[in-house]
Amino acid sequence: GENVEQHPSTLSVQEGDSAVIKCTYSDSASNYFPWYKQELGKGPQLIIDIRSNVGEKKDQRIAVTLNKTAKHFSLHITETQPEDSAVYFCAVGGTSYGKLTFGQGTILTVHP
Amino acid sequence: DADVTQTPRNRITKTGKRIMLECSQTKGHDRMYWYRQDPGLGLQLIYYSFDVKDINKGEISDGYSVSRQAQAKFSLSLESAIPNQTALYFCATSEGMEGLTSGELFFGEGSRLTVL
């Protein structure tokens, strides 16, 4: 089955800095790459996603880039704010109808 | 009110007890999922259902069973709970997507289960 590796497991930045989280996957047939944000005591919530026919997608301060050849994709958060502090999960889908395989999660802490 | 509601939110039980976690949704989605979250392991799929008559095992189904009572209701059971089933459990829903394999998951707020 699909194997997803996410790095780093923890990331600490100063407010205003950029943060980058990277995921690699194993199945070249995968075609859907979402990122979820989980705040304390809440369920994960989709923040951005990308499909394999697109190399980059932006939404205000967040962006996702995809390199299908190398089988990795990354989440970029610019101008970080304390409210960006959360656990971020990457996920991969597309080879099994409707199912997602999640990465291990990254705890992002943004210091004021 | 939340679109995906899980009950109970917290439960402490003893080894060998039967436990049921319930999930109900008002999103009108056909697809429902149960995930387990452990620190450092991300979210692992336990079971999923694409409609009322459809039940499928996920990555870690051993020791668990599910029931899809209606389009809006999907329950997870632990027939005989053991300590290593202590975890945070999430129910999720998604739309069926023609021509596309995956779409956005909508998660409940989680059920924290502790097995002593």
Q: Apex CA A25: angle with CA A23 and CA A29, to 5°?
A: 135
Query: In this predicted structure, what is the pLDDT of residue A54?
Result: 78
Question: Which residues between 53 and 72 in chain B have a beta carbon less than 8 angstroms from any beta carbon of chain A?
Answer: 58-59
Distance CA A50, CA A57 (A): 7
Predicted confidence at residue A65, as pLDDT, reads 96
The neighbouring-strand residues paired with A7 are A22
**A84 has a pLDDT exceeding 90:** yes
The confidence band for A99, taking pLDDT boundaries of 50, 70 and 90, is confident
Summarised one tens digit per residue, pLDDT across range B3-51 is 999 999 999 999 999 999 999 999 999 899 999 999 888 899 999 998 8
Contact B48, B61 (CB under 8 A): no
How much is the average pLDDT of A36-42? Answer: 95
Joined tokens for residue A105: 């999660």
> Which pLDDT does position B95 carry in this prediction?
85
Cβ contact (<8 Å) for B109 and A42? Answer: yes
- Token pair 């995921």: residue: A23
Q: Minimal CA–CA distance to B101: which of A32, A23, A46, A4?
A: A32
- DSSP string covering chain A: ---EEEE-SEEEEETT--EEEEEEES-TT--EEEEEEE-TTS--EEEEEEETT-SEEEETTEEEEEETTTTEEEEEE-S--GGG-EEEEEEEESSSTT-EEE---EEEEEE-
- Given a cut of 90, is residue A53 above it in pLDDT? no
pLDDT in tens, B45-103: 999 998 899 999 998 999 999 999 999 999 999 999 999 999 999 999 998 766 556 78
For the ranges A79-88, A93-102, B39-48, the maximum mean pLDDT occurs at A79-88
Residue A43 is nearest to which of B41, B90, B96, comparing CB atoms?
Answer: B90
Q: Does A105 touch chain B (CB under 8 A)?
A: yes
Residue A98 has a pLDDT of 67
Q: Does A9 touch chain B (CB under 8 A)?
A: yes
Residue-averaged pLDDT of chain A: 93
> Once rounded to an integer, what is the mean pLDDT over residues A63-85?
96
The DSSP bridge pattern shows strands B87-94 and B111-115 to be antiparallel
Phi, psi of A83 (to 5 degrees): -70, -5
Pick the residue from chain A with its C-alpha nearest to B40.
A104
Look at residues A25, A34, A6 and name the one whose alpha carbon lies nearest to residue A105. A6
User: Phi, psi (5° rounding) for residue B97?
Assistant: -125, 110
Q: Which residues contact A85 (CB under 8 A, 6 or more apart)?
A: A108, A109, A110
**Mind giving me the DSSP string for A36-52?**
EEE-TTS--EEEEEEET
Tell me, what's the pLDDT at B99?
Answer: 56
Amino acid code (one letter) for A54 = V
What average pLDDT does this structure show over A48-67?
92
Chain A to chain B Cβ contacts (< 8 Å): 69
Please report the pLDDT score of residue A25 as a whole number. Answer: 96
- Of the residues A9, A97, A101, A104, the best mutation for testing chain B's interface (the one with the most B CB atoms within 10 Å of its CB) is A97
